[in-house]
């Protein structure tokens, strides 16, 4: 089972190094998108790990911006070129960590070939409805300049509302996924060939939460979807980011039977 891991990271080189070593074996490869705002020199030791690579075409990633999607796309494209024979692609953040033996994760994927493990909510779920409304307006999350919010207001006042094709169903929740290579190639194909659809996600807010799930959900590969991203994530604090997990969460993590958990801070 050949698995390619994509890691989105921006800090904590020692924690990132520990994560990379924990998920690598002879049948896997890792590519890390390091935020362009981060100093690559601080992470140089990781490039010495066999089968660990950094995304060459890096970009500055901004919270809520389409740049979060673009970082995955660039990494996925480079990953598939590094090893076209990958069977599964696993997307992680630099603050994720495996909570089961790597061998069990590989065995699970062997027993479940050709799937897309992603979290997605029904299109009529209030969260999806509210998220979808964000796409009607223009957001300049990836831009920083004086008067940005005034420009946003003018754009939304003067320009027509944006909309997806009538038969396109938005769905999603958490951006993290484990998908088979057919889904990965399909995503790259849509990005190359359907620029009009992709533009609907640009200048939106929080596109990463719906982009990949929606592409697969509205594709001939829809039946591959399994509504489980195999991760333990605790949103109980109702904040804009999940709870930072500690030793007191270990029992709940184990009961979840997830393969990964987030987020951790090893400091």
Q: List the structure tokens of 46.
A: 């990781």
pLDDT band at 74 (very low <50, low <70, confident <90, very high): very high
131-159 pLDDT, tens digit each: 888 888 888 888 888 998 999 899 989 99
Task: Write down how long the chain is.
Answer: 267
Region 164-178 average pLDDT: 92
* Distance of alpha carbon 211 from alpha carbon 67, whole angstroms: 12
Contacts of 7 by beta carbon, 8 Å cutoff, 6+ apart: 16, 19, 20, 30, 31, 32, 33, 92, 93, 94, 96
Q: What pLDDT is recorded for position 247?
A: 86
Mapping DSSP onto H, E and C, the string for 225-260 reads EEECCCEEECCCCCCCCCCCCCHHHHHHHHHHCCCE
- In 3D space, the residue among 31, 118, 44 whose CA is nearest the CA of residue 73 turns out to be 31
In this prediction, residues 207-212 reach a mean pLDDT of 95
Reading the block at residue 154, the tokens are 């003018």
Mean pLDDT calculated for residue range 175-202:
94
For 40, other C-beta atoms within 10 Å of its C-beta total 12
pLDDT confidence of residue 267: 66
Tens digit of each residue's pLDDT (9 = 90 or more) over 35-62: 999 999 999 999 999 999 999 999 999 9
Choose the weakest-confidence range: 55-59, 190-194, 216-220, 254-258: 254-258
User: How many C-beta neighbours within 10 Å does residue 71 have?
Assistant: 26
Domains in the chain and their CATH numbers?
3-123+172-194+223-262 (3.90.550)
Q: Are 54 and 222 in contact (CB under 8 A)?
A: no
Question: Whose structure tokens read 């807010």?
Answer: 205
pLDDT value at residue 250: 87
In whole angstroms, what is the distance from residue 144 CA to residue 133 CA?
A: 23
Residue 72 pLDDT grade (very low, low, confident, very high; cuts 50, 70, 90): very high
Whole-number CA gyration radius for the chain:
18
| b/e code 202-215 from CB counts within 10 Å (16+ = b) | bbbbbbbbbbbbbb
For 72, other C-beta atoms within 10 Å of its C-beta total 24
DSSP letter at 241 equals S
């Amino acid at each position: 089972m050949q698995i390619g891991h994509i890691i989105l990271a921006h800090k904590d080189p020692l924690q990132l190094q520990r994560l990379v070593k924990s998920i690598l074996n002879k049948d896997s490869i890792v590519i890390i998108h390091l935020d362009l705002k981060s100093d690559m020199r601080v992470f140089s030791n990781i490039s010495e790990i066999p089968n660990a690579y950094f995304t060459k075409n890096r970009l500055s990633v901004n919270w809520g911006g389409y740049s979060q999607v673009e970082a995955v796309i660039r990494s996925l494209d480079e990953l598939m070129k590094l090893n076209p024979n990958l069977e599964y692609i696993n997307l992680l953040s630099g603050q994720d960590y495996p909570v089961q033996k790597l061998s069990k994760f590989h065995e699970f994927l062997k027993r479940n070939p050709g799937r897309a493990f992603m979290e997605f909510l029904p299109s009529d779920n209030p969260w999806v409805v509210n998220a979808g409304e964000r796409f009607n307006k223009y957001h300049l999350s990836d831009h920083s300049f004086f008067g940005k919010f005034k420009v946003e207001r003018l754009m939304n006042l003067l320009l027509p509302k944006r909309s997806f094709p009538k038969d396109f169903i938005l769905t999603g929740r958490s951006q993290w996924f484990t998908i088979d290579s057919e889904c990965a190639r399909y995503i790259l194909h849509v990005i190359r060939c359907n620029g009009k659809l992709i533009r609907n996600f640009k200048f939106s807010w929080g596109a990463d939460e719906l982009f990949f799930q929606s592409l697969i959900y509205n594709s001939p590969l829809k039946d591959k979807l399994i509504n489980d991203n195999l991760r333990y994530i605790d949103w109980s604090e109702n904040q804009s980011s999940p709870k930072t997990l500690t030793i007191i969460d270990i029992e709940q993590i184990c009961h979840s039977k997830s393969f990964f958990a987030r987020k951790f801070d090893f400091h």
